[in-house]
Structures are given as structure tokens and as C-alpha cells.
Structure 1
């Protein structure tokens, strides 16, 4: 037992210090303890849980999927032990968390569905009377000094359960683009952040790392708010995200590896607001924060590419505001370096190439630029490379195909290249606005994609001498939603004659598919946490 405790403590220190050698040693020791068969059932369950967490940490550092797969097996074994109380909540929540990561590896929707089921179960357990946090939580967040140690532990556990449930909903949003999932993720993350306010009153009762927990909760909430801002343009979300990140930046203990992530997110949010408001002071603040993040990222080298991407974005926005050629050239230099570092399987490469193409086009369009032709040709190559990336999000592929088409039409009107690029863009429209989205989300996606894509594609085909193809693309682009509606409207008379119940069920499903956006969890005044 002493060996197991020593290995668990070493694993914790290794995770905190990002010491791979020490983490490897602790994993080996925990495996040996489990292999010896010593200890009672609770002791072995604790060892297995610690092994799973250590493996998950090593997966995060090295990206070895076998570590993640073994971590999933450890988490499943923990749930199968049928523990009770807080241990049960932690076991269920841990399985949900590792399944989130496992889904990102496998892409299997069943893994995501199982993850969300586990998150629901963990939330349900937290809300049971024997585990529930103080009923005064909402009304008296600042007056909880009298809670006992067990209630304190429950506050900490409940906050983490809600936090990871929010992550799962965001993951589903990223894959299926249902804004209801993002709304629910934000509301649940907000409740988790509210709970972390109580932890400072509980430090003497055993809850550790208040500043770090509070800071990371605020940082993750801010990330979701920024995603919703990108969708809706509601500046209230952006301003709230900045306030969250400013507090997170002050709360995060210096020396923590995650401090660079918080600082980078604050820089990106300030840069976004500076671009929206045309505020040079916001952009200056953003670049100053980013320089600080670079210094802080020495312990987190994998943040390097994202830091450079953020810097390039801010420099491009400032160049557009001030006309600075130095900013524009520096942004293009950063983006070309990044494009050479990512391989074609990286989803980030598409964004890098799109921004590089924009920077090169902008530089070529500045009066007095020597030899703008080569810059435009480099931009065309970047647009096409981005459009050809199968690993990129479909909406980014669509943006790249449109950019490629515009560049080709400007350089060589009537070329087959322009016709090919725009045809690619139109063919992506039904994929972007796929049937799994609700009607409002489909309309938003198509509007964001550009209402003139079909017309531009038809013009490119006509210029290339293909009138039949022009008409075909025009009908395809303008009839995405209508064709989907026609597909689900079928005559059910024959089915009803054979099976009336089946016909009624098909009618119900068809009505749902044709219906408008359903209200998101929590919008009717009920708690999003309870509904989740």
C-alpha cells in the first residue's frame, strides 16, 4: 500500500511538473501493484483510478492512443465496481471525461453518446439529496463559511462534473453545429463558475488550488462565449468573455503551465474586440498580452503554433486598420512558417492557408508593391491547397473554395480553374447545411457561406463556355433547403394501409424535420443543469 501511495503521489507531481520520466515510473509502479493482487477491493479500485488518470496525462503529453485506450479501460472498471457516494460520482464523471477524448480519436458517435449519458448520470448523482451542494448556493454565494467538510467536497465535485458536461456539449456542437448545444454548454459552464466562487471559503476545509480551478473554469467559459460571438456577433458575449479572462488572468497562480493558455485567450479576445471596434488600443493591449504569453509558454511548448497563429491574426487586423506594411509582412511571414510546420491531417492548416492567402492578396493590392503578380499566384496556391484539405472543417473548405474561385476569376476570367473552384464551393453547400441541423441553423450557415456563391459559380461556368453546368449549379446552390424538404415529403398512404402506427410515427418524424428551432435547455426558465 505504501508503494501505491508513493506511486500515486509521484504521478501527481509528474503531472504538475510535466515530467515524463517521473510519470513513466509512476505508471510502471501502479501496474506492478495491480499485478501483485495485493490490497482489498477499494484499495485496488483507487490504484486503478490513479493509473487511468496518469495514463490520460501521458496521452495529453505524448499523444499515444494506446495510453488513452488503457485509460478508458481503467475508467470502465471503476464504474463497474459499483462504488457509492462521492466515489461513485467521481468514477462516472471520470469515464465520461475520458470518453470525450476517445471520441476525438475514433470519431465514433456512439462514444460521444455514451460520454453524454455518463455526464447526465454524474449530474443526476450530484443532485441527489445525500450529495447535493448547499441549497443556499444560488441565494448566498458569499455566505457559506458554515458549511462542513463533506458539503465543501461536494461543491468541488459538482463544479467539475458540470464543467466536463459543458465540454461534452461543446464537442457535440463542434461536430453537429446545433446552437442549442452551445447555449446549454455556456449555461452549464456558468453554473460551474458560480460554484467555484464558494471554494475560497472552503480552503480551510480541504479544497486546494482555488485560484487554478477558478481561473480554468473562467477561461473555458470565455472560450464558449467567444464561439457564440463568432456565430451571432453579439458583443455582449465578447465583452463577458474578456471580463472572465481578465479575472482568470489575475486568479491563475504564476508558475502554472496553463497561465500561458489563459493569457493567449485574453490576447485573442482583445484582438477580436479591437478588430470589431476598430480600436488600435485594444490591439496594442492584445499584442502586449501575447508577448507575455510567449514568455509564459516555456513550460508548454505545444502552445507555440497557436500563439503564432493568434499573433498573425492580430497583426492582420491591425494592418487593415492602420495600413502598416510591417504588420502585414510579419503576419505573412508567420503564416508561411506555420504552413510548413503542419501536415495535411491537421485541421488548423486550413485556417493558416486561408489567412496566408488573404495576407498575400492584401499585400499585392497595395499601391506601389513591386511585382504583385507572384504574390497573387502564391495566394491562389494557398487558396487551392486549403480547399483540397480533406481534414479541414467543411465550412473552412467552402470558404477556401470561394476564395480560390474569386482569385482565379480575377486572374484569368473564363478559365477552367475558376469554374472548377466555384463548382467545388457549390457542391459543398448541402454538406455544410446538412439535414442534421435545425432549420434556423441551416439558414444561418448558408447565409454565412455567402448568398452569391451559386450566382458566382454560374458566372464562372458561363465564362468558361459551359451553360448547362451553369444552370445545374445555380439550381443546386439556390435549392439546398427546398430539395431537403421535398426529400422528406413522401406519400404515406400505402404505409398507412399496411401499418397505421408506423405511418403516424413517420408523420411525427417528418413534422420534427420540417419544424423550426426548438427552445434550448434552460430558455423556458428551468435550470439547464437539471434538464441536462
Structure 2
């Protein structure tokens, strides 16, 4: 950058050089110095200086960048004030005006993300539109401006749900990635387009959008340079929905590896680190759901607590972190019920609900978490008030998600589950019939390859089985057998759930004297044991999985004898009882100690073992 004899512009140039140094090295001290020199430039220039708007806009943009890094609300407020003044003062012919428009649009977007107040989104979109219309497509700023337009349109869609905004965001993003740009801008454009495509995939389920989103996320990593951590974090987040859609464990393991890299490298104490901690915890939650590895549960809670501690009390993201923390405590409660974890869930849920009023876009999801917590409270304490509250909040969550909302199936299943408990407690057949109807709808709305299909079939089986116990309706028992067998056969379901479904299949069939079906259910459960206790799990977790299912081998053998399948009895008895002995004969060792020292290598070894079976 050429030096200027004008003192204000010399200071401005120095601020720009320090900003560039910060972009290349990521040292917050460089950003602080850039802000100091930008402030001096504005003070020396004064209102009469022809470059006064430029000095204001530059200072405002630097303050906004520091806000994004550290979360100081004063920086953001000053950025908005300075940016607004710069745009007001800039002449229409000022060649820098498009840049001022972009700076202010970005600051307004940051304000929305920080406060949840969407009142400035329309202006942010208008400013971004004006910027792209001023500069020609071959201008060096054009790619960045089109990408910014796509980003604010995506945010307005997320706030208001107006689908044309999202489609326009995708179009703007696609234009941005085709325009010439330096590597950093091109990386950001690829990442922003990927975000919009992921949002659209969540609505439509179009696999082309999902594949494109991941391809652009990969491209962003390749172009990233100094922004590598941000791009890696986004790629990890993009892989997660593909794992949920296709159940490819490699996507999940890669996501976890990327997020570990980001969390390890990200400076401690920075507010932005909280997002990456939460994302890593969510990825571990997905792995726990598949493996029931208890070490993942404890790590999830530790990561989410760190994320909450880094998040300001008035930050709208705090409620999301608390909601995730409640879910993690809930999973640990399911595995190891303790009053302490239950009390923690109740305490946290009060803050979450208070910060999520009616009309909030996340209200249904947070009601779901609280309803599940109240359900656990009832199971532990048999407090009828807890069950009544669970029914009430799940019913409200379902009402917020009318058909064809993508989350409706989950809310139907949740409400059906608590109504099953209430119908059982009150011995009300009509309530149990309603629970069955809700579960039927949930299964109907769930695709065959959905990760949650096995669980929803399992819940349907529970409702039908409970209805049979109360009414002695054989048809309910037969349908329960069908539901449990369907859950056990759903390959996208977690092994522990499929195994339990197979056991219930056998139990329910035996209860009505259908020994052929009983033998088939218990046989399926025994055959699932190697998957349930695969070698990638710690030794203690494998032993616990078998301890929770005592007598399975004996039940499998006796049901085979009752079904006159004598040749199956002894192999099932030996196979069920010898799972861990067979593994002990293998020279490969437990990865628990390795994971504590080199989690990256342990994860890779687990992946290879899984692929080898």
C-alpha cells in the first residue's frame, strides 16, 4: 500500500496493514492495534476531511470483526453507528460507497445473530442488493458482495421462513462462486453457498443440494488459507446431515476429527469457540447414539458446559447451548440414572424455556427437550405432575409443527410415548389407542432410511404392547411383534436399539404363544450382539451392554426348543454366551487408553475396525 503525506490517511493505511496482518496470522493483538490506528485516523481526519466516511466505515468494520471474535456488544453498537454514518455521508459517486454498504449490511447481520432481533434484516438485504447493483461483475469486490447478499437472504429466511429468500440466497451464492476472486473471498463464497444449500436440503430433502453443499464446503477448505479453522468447522457441520441421511459412519468420524482439530487450535476464552465446542458435542452425541460409548457422554457434557461458560447471559445462542446440555444430561441419565443429573436438567430447563417465548423458531425443539426431561423425571419418581407436564409440552411442540413440517414425525412419536405412559398409569384404553395412532402417523412420515425410523417403530411396538396388556387384544400384540421386528431389521438404527427391539419381539411373541416368531426375535437379538459389542468400544462399555440384557442366550435357546427348532438351540446358546470370550481371543486391544492420548489415531483405528466388521 502506498504511503500518503496526509497524516489521517497514513494512519488509515497503517490500520489496513495491521488488519491484513491479523487476517494472515489471526493474532487478536494485531486487530486491537488496527482499531487503535483506525480511531486515530478518524480523529485526525475530522468531519471536513474528504475521506471522513472512509475512515468511519473502516473503523466500524474493524470493530464488527472484533465483535465477531470476542462478542463485546459495545463493539457491535459502535460498528453500527459508524457504518450508518459512513453510508449517510458517502456521495453516490464515491467509488468506496459499495464497500460501506457491504460493511453496514454485515454489521446488521451480526446484530441479528447476536440479539435475535430481525428488525434490521430488511435493511441489511437492501444494502447488500444496492452494493451488487453498483459494482460490475468483473470488479474485484463483486464475488464478495454477491456472497454477502446470499448470506443475509439466508438469515432472513431462517428468521421468517420465506422460501423465496432461500432460493435467491442459493442463486446469489452460485453467482458469487463463479466470479473471479482472491482465494480468501472465494473460500468464504463457497462456504456461504454451502450453508444455503444445507438449509434448502433440510426443507426439501433433495440429495443434490446436500452433495453440492459438501462439495462447496470441501472447496472452501482447499481455498481457506488463514481461515482454515472456520472452513474446517463448517465442513464438519456439513458432513453431519449427510451422516443422518445416509448413515455412513465415515462422515461422522471425519466430522469429529475435524472438530477436534478446530477446538484444539482455537484460542481459549474466545466467545466464538463456544460454537465449535457445541458442534463437537453434537457430533459425539450422534456417535453415542450409535455406539452407547459412555466416554462420549461424559465428554459431551464437559464440552457443552465449556460452551455455556463462554456464552454471555444475553446471547441468544446461550439457550441453544443450554438445550444441548440438557439433552446430554438426559442421555447420561438414561444410561446411569442419578438424582443429580435429573436436578441439573430441571434447573437448566427453566432458563431455556424463559428465553424461548411463543413464536421463537426454536421453541418446538426446546419444548421437546423439556418434555423428554419431564418424562425421565416421571420414570424416576413416578410424580404424576411430571407426566402431565410432559404431555402438555409435547402437545404444544406438535401444534407448532403442522404437516408437512420436517420435525413433525419426531413430535408425534414423543407425544405418543408420554401418552403411552399416561394410559398405562391411568389404565385408559382410549388414551393408549390415541398413542398408537400418533405412533402410526410418526412411522408413516419417516422414510425407510431415516436414522430415527428404528426408534419410532420401537415406540410404536411399546404402545401396542401396553394396549395389549390392558385390553388383551391379540391384534395389538401381533402388530407389536411386527413393529419390533421392523425396528430390529432397520439397518440405520443404532445397534443397542435394534437389539432391544429384537428382544421385545421375542418376548411379545412368546407372551401370545407364537413360538416361531419368538425364536426369530431372540435369534435376531443374538446375531446383533457382535455389532452391539464391537471392538471399537471400551471393554467396560461392552461388558455393560451384555449385563443389561441378561439371560438372552437362554431365552433364545428355549424359544427355539419350544418352536421345535432344535438345531438352532445350542449354537444360539453358545453364541450368546461367548461374545466377549471370542473377542478376548483376538490379539487386538481395547482403544480406551489410546483415545486418551491420541484421539485422532484411536478414531481412525475404530473406523478401520468398523469397516472390517
TM-score using structure 1 length: 0.78
Distance in 1 of aligned mates of 2:173 and 2:483? 49
| Distance in 1, Cα, partners of 2:253 & 2:464 | 43
**Structure 1 counterpart of 2:538, from 435, 438, 446:** 438
Q: Quick one: distance in 2 between partners of 1:9 and 1:172?
A: 33
2:95 aligned partner: none
Match of 2:44? none
Contact 2:410–2:442 (CA<8 Å) still a contact in 1? no
> 1:402–1:117: structure 2 CA closer, same or farther, 3 Å change rule?
closer
**CA 1:486–1:199: 2 relative to 1, 3 Å:** same
Measure how far apart 1:124 and its partner are: 3.1
2:212 to 70, 77, 87: 70
State the secondary structure of the residue aligned to 2:535: coil
Equivalent-residue separation in structure 2 for 1:161 and 1:360 (angstroms): 42
Return the alpha-carbon distance in structure 2 between the equivalents of residues 391 and 88 of structure 1: 33
Distance 2:403 2:193 in 1: 24
Q: Which residue of 2 aligns with 1:393?
A: 494
Partner of 1:526: none
Greater relative contact order structure (CA < 8 Å, 6+ sep): 1
Describe how 1:203-218 pairs up with structure 2 within 5 A.
Answer: 210-211=315-316, 213-218=317-322
- Find the partner of 2:306 among 178, 191, 195: 191
For the residue of structure 2 that corresponds to 1:440, the secondary structure is helix
**Deviation of the 1:263 alpha carbon:** 1.1
Which segments of 5 or more consecutive residues in structure 1 lack a partner in the other structure?
134-153, 201-209, 489-509, 523-532
The answer as to whether partners of 1:183 and 1:520 remain within 8 angstroms in 2 is no
3-state SS of the aligned residue for 2:550?
Answer: coil
Q: Distance in 2 between matches of 1:296 and 1:361?
A: 29
C-alpha change, 1:30 and 1:314, in structure 2 (3 Å) is same
State the distance in 1 between where 2:329 and 2:404 align. 24
User: Quick check: 1:9 aligned with 2:152?
Assistant: yes
Say whether residues 1:54 and 2:196 are aligned partners: yes
Match of 1:459 among 553, 558, 561: 558
Q: Does structure 2 retain, via aligned residues, the 8 Å contact 1:75–1:94?
A: yes
Equivalent of 1:411, from 506, 512, 517? 512
In the alignment, the residues of structure 2 paired with residue 75 and residue 317 of structure 1 have an alpha-carbon distance, to the nearest angstrom, of: 44
Q: For residues 324 and 466 of structure 1, do their structure 2 counterparts lie closer, same or farther at Cα, with a shift above 3 Å needed?
A: closer
**Paired residues for 1:91-130 under 5 Å:** 91-105=231-245, 107-127=247-267
- The answer for the alignment partner of 2:575 in structure 1 is 476
Question: Cα offset for 1:19?
Answer: 2.4
Question: What SS does structure 2 have at the residue aligned with 1:71?
Answer: helix
From the superposition, tell whether residues 362 and 30 of structure 1 become closer, same or farther in structure 2 (CA, over 3 Å): closer
State whether structure 2 residue 474 is matched by structure 1 residue 373: yes
* SS of residue paired to 2:401: helix
The alignment status of 1:30 with 2:129, answered yes or no, reads: no
Task: State the secondary structure of the residue aligned to 1:302.
Answer: coil
Distance 1:376 1:166, change over 3 A: closer
Residues of 1 paired with 2:509 and 2:243: CA distance? Answer: 39
1:167 aligns with 2:266: no
- CA separation of 1:455 and 1:240: change in aligned 2, threshold 3 A: same
Q: Quick check: which has more Rg, 1 or 2?
A: 2
Counterpart residue number, 1:421: 521
- The verdict on how the C-alpha distance between 1:384 and 1:174 changes in structure 2, with shifts beyond 3 A counting, is closer
For residues 7 and 420 of structure 1, what CA distance do their matches in structure 2 show? 54
1:296 and 1:477, CA in 2 relative to 1: closer, same or farther beyond 3 A?
A: same
| SS across alignment from 2:492 | coil
Q: How many Å separate the matches in 1 of 2:251 and 2:468? A: 47
Cα separation, partners in 2 of 1:245 and 1:435, compared to 1, 3 Å:
same
Equivalent position SS for 1:365: helix
Give the C-alpha shift of residue 41 in structure 1: 4.5
Whole-Å separation in 1 of the counterparts to 2:228 and 2:527: 49
Q: CA deviation at 1:429?
A: 1.7
User: Per-residue deviation at 1:424?
Assistant: 1.9
2: distance between equivalents of 1:93 and 1:320?
A: 46
* CA separation of 1:76 and 1:285: change in aligned 2, threshold 3 A: same
User: What is the Cα deviation at residue 30 of structure 1?
Assistant: 2.6
Matched, 1:325 2:325: no
Change (3 A) 1:171 1:473: same
Residue in 1 aligned with 2:70? none
Rounded to whole Å, the distance in 1 between the matches of 2:306 and 2:529 is 37
Equivalents in 1 of 2:405, 2:457: separation in Å?
22
* In structure 2, C-alpha distance between the alignment counterparts of 1:410 and 1:295, rounded to whole Å: 37
Q: Which moved more, 1:288-297 or 1:58-67?
A: 288-297
Instruction: Please state whether the residue corresponding to 2:282 is helix, strand or coil.
Output: helix
Query: What's the offset of the Cα at 1:89?
Result: 3.6
Deviation at 1:520, TM superposition (A): 8.2
Q: C-alpha separation between the residues in 2 aligned to 1:344 and 1:41? A: 42
Distance change (3 Å), C-alpha of 1:452 and 1:69: same
Retained in 1: the 8 A contact 2:289–2:494?
Answer: no
In the TM superposition, residue 361 of structure 1 has moved relative to its aligned partner by: 3.1
The answer (yes or no) to whether the contact 1:180–1:519 under 8 Å persists in 2 is no
State the distance in 2 between where 1:437 and 1:388 align.
22
* 1:162-196 per-position Cα deviation (integer Å, ceiling 9, x unaligned): 11122222233233332212211211111001111
CA distance in 2, matches of 1:171, 1:235: 25
Residues 214 and 251, structure 1, Cα contact 8 Å, conserved in 2: no
- The CA RMSD measured in Å over matched residues stands at 2.7
For this pair of structures, how many residues does the alignment match?
A: 454
Structure 2, unmatched stretches of 5+, are 1-97, 99-130, 133-145, 598-613
User: 1:109 & 1:376 partners in 2: Cα distance?
Assistant: 35
Among 335, 339, 342, the residue aligned to 2:446? 342
SS in 1 for 2:406: helix
Local SS of the residue matching 1:435: coil
C-alpha contact (below 8 Å) 1:184/1:520 kept by paired residues: no
Please state whether the residue corresponding to 2:407 is helix, strand or coil. Answer: helix
